[in-house]
Amino acid sequence: MSEKKDQGVSRRQFLNYCLTGVGGFLAAGMVAPMLRFAIDPALKKAGSAGGMVPVASESDITEEPKSYSFKVKVKDVWTGEQETSQTAWVYKYQGQIIALSPICKHLGCTVSWGTNKQFPNQYHCPCHGGRYEKNGKNVPGTPPMKPLDQYQLAVKDGKVLLGKVEPNKIAGGA
Ligand code: FES
């Protein structure tokens, strides 16, 4: 009988190998989504931080907010590098070119400029009536509790370049 055991894998060992393999497979299936959840935002941030994107000619920018769309390359651990579309309200404010994010700070709808006839010189959010002043400051008494975010901005060779979105610096906080 001991000769038989020495020749190969015992039934018990075989069962242990199978259970270890299946257990490992199931554990990997549970851990992989958690890893993705933990790592993915960091990778996306790193990807979108890579460089400024030309959006408009400096000579086209006026004091009236105008919406510009542009594409940004985003790195993702699963899908690799991808292009995503973004939009910014770009204009001169107190002599300085600025670019505001159109994403409402209440629940993330898209704001537009001058579409509310009652408040033509404000940003208006169609979802819950949020409003923002021209510098992005949220109007008290409307749902948003923070100013619209602002894009990093540079002007080079007559082009307006936009980078990462960051908290609004011109609205004086809110
Ligand atoms: S999402 Fe803009 S006011 Fe609610």
User: With 70 as the cut, is the pLDDT of residue 32 above it?
Assistant: no
**Mean pLDDT over residues 130-136, rounded?**
97
Q: What is the dihedral of CA 127, 110, 165, 160, to 10 degrees?
A: -150
Pairing of β 112-113 and β 123-124? antiparallel
Pairing of β 80-93 and β 96-100? antiparallel
Q: How far is CA 80 from CA 35, 42, 92, 132, 163, in A?
A: 16, 14, 36, 36, 20
Query: For 73-131, what is each residue's pLDDT tens digit?
Result: 888 788 888 889 999 999 999 999 999 999 999 999 999 999 999 999 999 999 999 99
Q: What's the 172 CA to ligand 1 centre distance in angstroms?
A: 21
Look at the alpha carbons of 35, 41, 42, 47 in this order and tell me if their dihedral is positive or negative. Answer: positive
Nearest to 171 by CA among 118, 133, 144, 131: 133
Say which CATH superfamily domain 53-166 falls into. Answer: Rieske [2Fe-2S] iron-sulphur domain (2.102.10.10)
Specify the ligand 1 atom closest to the Cα of 130: 3
Around Cβ 2, how many Cβ atoms within 10 Å?
5
User: With 50 as the cut, is the pLDDT of residue 47 above it?
Assistant: no
Q: What is the dihedral of CA 153, 154, 159, 165, to 10 degrees?
A: -20
Nearest to 61 by CA among 164, 171, 153: 153
Instruction: Flag whether the pTM goes above 0.85.
Output: no
- Pick the more confident residue, 25 or 88: 88
Beta bridge partners of 151: 165
Amino acid identity at 160: V
Tell whether ligand 1 has an atom less than 6 A from the beta carbon of residue 160.
no
User: With 80 as the cut, is the pLDDT of residue 6 above it?
Assistant: no
Tell whether ligand 1 has an atom less than 6 A from the beta carbon of residue 126.
no
Protein residue with least CA distance to atom 1, ligand 1: 107
pLDDT of residue 37: 58
**Mean pLDDT over residues 32-61, rounded?**
68
Beta bridge partners of 88: 68
Q: Which of 103, 112, 124, 125 to mutate to test the pocket of ligand 1 (most atoms within 8 A of CB)?
A: 125
Burial of 170 (0-12, 13-18, 19+ CB in 10 A): middle
**Mean pLDDT over residues 22-47, rounded?**
64
% of the chain at pLDDT higher than 90: 61
